[in-house]
Amino acid sequence: MIMDIEQVMQYLPHRYPFLLIDKVIELDLGKTITAIKNVTINEPFFPGHFPGAPVMPGVLILEAMAQAAAILSFKTKDYAPEDIGIVYFAGIDGARFKKPVKPGDQLVLKIAIVREMRGIWKYTGRAEVDGALVAEAELMATLRDKP
Angle (nearest 5°) at CA 66 between 62 and 72: 145
Q: What is the spatial distance between Cα 36 and Cα 107, in angstroms, rounded to a whole number?
A: 6
Q: Which residues pair with 132 in a beta bridge?
A: 129
Q: What is the spatial distance between Cα 61 and Cα 107, in angstroms, rounded to a whole number?
A: 9
Q: Which residues are catalytic?
A: 49
